[in-house]
Structure 1
């Protein structure tokens, strides 16, 4: 987190990014290969000190070399890499973006793979909850490990949108909620992978806090600062409340799919080893270390591959305008692997030393969503 201290300012950080659609990947890749560091700095409006500039340039050049090597593979890969505002980050800074430390809903007792259910369920061929107006714009967590707070806040936003959609057939306007309130106020007494705030926590802990505190403030009233702060939520007015939340069975494909179809977007956990992702259907091996929290918003098919549609919190310059497509295999076909270091960003103190995780990037390993969302 050496260079990210520049984000810890006294002024609020712009939370929502409204960016134009990016250039298509084939043109973008051609441009990427010849983009100079100076052009990158100008494109992404970077400002460096003289001391940090050499390290930034070295990180950028390493990113560019990795992009070229990956994208020019023969046969062509199913997904492509590209530049983003994060392409000049160090390894430590990349790690700081992955602030998931799940544990409150996780223990050795549920470490085994859960069997898929046999209940009858006929999902639609594809689904994108953005089309129904229940997904708010892509946001940017900056240099704080607050992905868990963004995943939780965005899923509360979507839960409210779903409630109004089910009630009237049309989603109401959704207020942008405050991840900063969760960063500052949601307790993490058992040190579930961290101490809370920018040091990481879990979506269920965020939901528990919102239930006990009476709801979540808007980002307008409690603006995002991309750093740890003092909890001041008691002096403000929450705008959306929830009455409960549901944890889905671990590594259960059908349970996740059914919840996504019937309840709306879901807060999920992943291995975010896709920092340079640009577009396409991402697939990887099964050496997954769960370290990031995101939101699942749909699924579909592209180029003959099924995918899960996932919203990230790294801004619109990353991925497909802030989204990634993770390969989806189907019931009984999802790959499984072992997280060999859950204590470094996965479980509470004293938790298991290894965890079985399933789905591309381990995305079936931990999923939850709030219930009873309503405007206050």
Structure 2
């Protein structure tokens, strides 16, 4: 196995080599026939990380605070009730890869997004089982948009699935690709398909008296007013959301406001991306 590594800090290469050697000794000791283990360990892309670094980079201490499923526990997951009816008999062997219900393995990188990938894979699998179609789900949307989780700092797969349910769905990985870092929640891929209900901070006095143009003034992310995004575009080089208000035709541009889009803020300008929701069907 060959892994490309570049260490820029002086002495870092030697420090990593010492960690690598320590891990190699640990592997050799574990795999010795005298130990009679039922599994082996070996070198991989994480072999130049110390055990402490591995824990800090890849593990989420609080992940067990919420159950993975509403009622599933241990071996009972195998007999969890399904909407299509109970299984008459639980098979002795099951591998959903054989059925095509499991997408390709990914590398989350340095972002602590395992919770998002786990939820995405579960949704992908169920969708394939129900429809026969394998559509890669956007883990990046969960990282960016699930406000009850903490992006690359960790989260909960149960909260991620709850977000998908409350959001009325989730984008595909093709439309909303993985970047390996938390970014601004993108709504334009959804708006291209339908209007989206949002909420914003409207305390700003300028917003109170807004007349026209792309609004990009300072505001908070604590939202206090609901509106609807009905489109998006670019005006004088500034990306904007076209937002329908409910304060009459004389406010703004005939009752609409253009709010700056693609700003460098996690929840969008004035928190406009923080609680975006849209229906799937009625």
TM-score by length of 2: 0.56
Q: How far off is 1:148 after superposition?
A: 0.6
Q: Distance in 1 between matches of 2:155 and 2:64?
A: 6
Aligned residues: 179
Q: How far off is 1:75 after superposition?
A: 4.5
Query: Is 1:44 aligned to 2:3, yes or no?
Result: yes
CA-to-aligned-CA distance 1:257-282 (integer Å, 9 cap, x gap): xxxxxxxxxxxxxxxxxxxxxxxxxx
Please say which structure displays the higher CA radius of gyration: 2
Q: Which has the higher strand share?
A: 1
Query: Is 1:144 aligned to 2:111, yes or no?
Result: yes
The equivalent position to 1:97 in structure 2, one of 45, 49, 58, is 58
Structure-2 residue corresponding to 1:237:
190
Matches within 5 A, 1:24-63: 43-51=2-10, 52-63=12-23
Q: 1:88 to 1:151 in 2, by over 3 A?
A: same
Q: 1:181 to 1:120 in 2, by over 3 A?
A: closer
Q: 1:102 to 1:201 in 2, by over 3 A?
A: farther
- Which structure has more relative contact order (CA 8 Å, sep 6+)? It is 1
Q: 1:103 to 1:114 in 2, by over 3 A?
A: same
Q: Distance in 1 between matches of 2:74 and 2:103?
A: 32
Query: Is 1:132 aligned to 2:99, yes or no?
Result: yes
Q: Report if aligned partners of 1:135, 1:157 keep a CA contact under 8 Å in 2.
A: yes
Q: 1:54 to 1:132 in 2, by over 3 A?
A: same
CA-to-aligned-CA distance 1:50-71 (integer Å, 9 cap, x gap): 4321221122111100000000
Matches within 5 A, 1:1-376: 43-51=2-10, 52-95=12-55, 96-99=57-60, 101-105=63-67, 122-164=89-131, 171-172=132-133, 174-188=134-148, 196-232=150-186, 234-237=187-190
Q: How far off is 1:90 after superposition?
A: 2.8
Q: Report if aligned partners of 1:102, 1:203 keep a CA contact under 8 Å in 2.
A: no
Runs of 4+ in 1 over 4 A off after TM superposition: 112-117
Q: Distance in 2 between matches of 1:115 and 1:79?
A: 25
Q: Distance in 2 between matches of 1:70 and 1:156?
A: 36
- CA-atom RMSD in angstroms: 3.0
Q: 1:140 to 1:120 in 2, by over 3 A?
A: closer
Q: Report if aligned partners of 1:187, 1:205 keep a CA contact under 8 Å in 2.
A: no
Q: Distance in 2 between matches of 1:49 and 1:65?
A: 26
Unaligned runs of 5+ in 1: 1-39, 165-170, 189-194, 239-373
Q: Report if aligned partners of 1:146, 1:198 keep a CA contact under 8 Å in 2.
A: yes
